Amino acid sequence: MSDRLDNPLVEHTLACDDCRADAPPVAQLAALLDGAGVDVDAAYLSRLAFARVAPELRARAQAAFWRRLRTALAFGLLPLPLVIAADVFVLGWLYQLFAVWLPASLALYVVISYGAWLLVAIGSTYAAIPLLLARGLPGPEPAPA
């Protein structure tokens, strides 16, 4: 406090008539105030603050995850009827194509096998949406306290 150029204690002593008349020991008071520092354990305070806000952070993260999941599923389910209609059209076209060269039962087997594979591929894609959202986007590492 005494090293500062704009020492408020000195400024007050110069401006106040009572303090100027009594002449308080400004140098001693400034030394006392400069020496009265408080040791702060920043790591302990950081752990304590994080422990107090961790439940709220967890609840907010969970709410954000469910909000992102709803949004992703809504946008993912919008084209699904079109994809299924296109797949049904392609499967019908493939059946007609294979039925010309293969017996009907074998053509049906090939088309049903391909349809089952498409169903598994589409189901796996939609099942992966929550997993991809849970992983989150890479972001900057937080700075240590």
Domain-located, residue 49: no
Cα dihedral 110→114→120→123 (10° resolution): -140
| Residue-averaged pLDDT of the chain | 80
Domain-located, residue 100: yes
Indicate the DSSP class of residue 6: S
pLDDT at 89: 92
pLDDT tens for 10-42 read 777 778 877 777 766 767 777 777 776 777 788
pLDDT at 56: 92
Domain-located, residue 113: yes
Domain-located, residue 108: yes
pTM score of the predicted model:
0.45
Using alpha carbons, list the distances in angstroms from residue 94 to 71, 89, 114. 35, 9, 10
Domain-located, residue 131: yes
Residue 120 has pLDDT above 90, yes or no: yes
Containing structural domain, residue 83: 63-135
Domain-located, residue 53: no
The count of domains in the chain is: 1
The candidate with the shortest Cα–Cα distance to 26, out of 9, 3, 1, is 9
pLDDT tens for 74-92 read 887 888 888 889 888 988 8
Domain-located, residue 2: no
Helices (H), the chain: 8-15, 17-22, 26-35, 42-77, 80-101, 104-135
Q: How far apart are CA 145 and CA 132, in angstroms?
A: 30
Q: How far apart are CA 91 and CA 114, in angstroms?
A: 8
Residue 2 has pLDDT above 50, yes or no: no
Residue 91 makes CB contacts below 8 A (sequence gap 6+) with: 111, 114, 115, 118
pLDDT tens for 50-68 read 999 999 988 998 888 888 8
- As to burial, measured by CB atoms within 10 angstroms (0-12 exposed, 13-18 middle, 19+ buried), residue 111 is buried
Domain-located, residue 103: yes
